[in-house]
Amino acid sequence: MGSYDVMYLALELCEKGELFDILFSTGQFEEKIARAFFHQALEGLEAIHSAGMSHRDMKPENMLFDANFNVKIADFGFAIVLSGRDGTGMLHTYLGTENYMAPEIHARKAYNGISVDLFALGIILFIMLSKNPPFARPE
């Protein structure tokens, strides 16, 4: 019969949905609520960064909530090791979700994975408190 490698994927049920949908239905959050969700997301990012990874696509759609409204960070499709492909600690790939990307990514300059994750989380905090993105283009 032989042997073969098997890959497993474990998922956690996030029955309260994503931050984006909650913001859409409730409107902006009170400061106390936004602060609590921000703090949980910051702790999640700290764990990701401590594991030597950068998420690179933080946005409200990637912040999910379990039954107790605990924040769960999802979608690691753009994640990369903090050291980068070349080992310098600088990342070079132009990717992410445009409204949450740090200026250095838009400028196509080398960037630090921790810094761009924190920049995106700051955008998310702004949206939680105002229900609007900080850099909205006038229509």
Quote the percentage of the chain above a pLDDT of 90: 86
Residue 12 within any structural domain of the chain? no
Q: Which residues are catalytic?
A: 57
Residue 98 within any structural domain of the chain? yes
Residue 116 within any structural domain of the chain? yes
Residue 11 within any structural domain of the chain? no
Annotate the chain with DSSP letters as a single string: --------------TTEEHHHHHHHH-SPPHHHHHHHHHHHHHHHHHHHHTTEE-----GGGEEE-TT--EEE---TT-EETT-TTSSS-B----S-GGG--HHHHTT--B-HHHHHHHHHHHHHHHHHHSS-TTPPP-
Q: According to the model, what pLDDT value does residue 139 have? A: 55
Domain count for the chain: 1
Residue 93 within any structural domain of the chain? yes
- Does residue 14 have a pLDDT over 60? yes
Q: At 57, which CATH number?
A: 1.10.510.10
Residue 6 within any structural domain of the chain? no
Residue 120 within any structural domain of the chain? yes
Range of the domain at 22: 17-130
pTM greater than 0.95 (yes/no): no
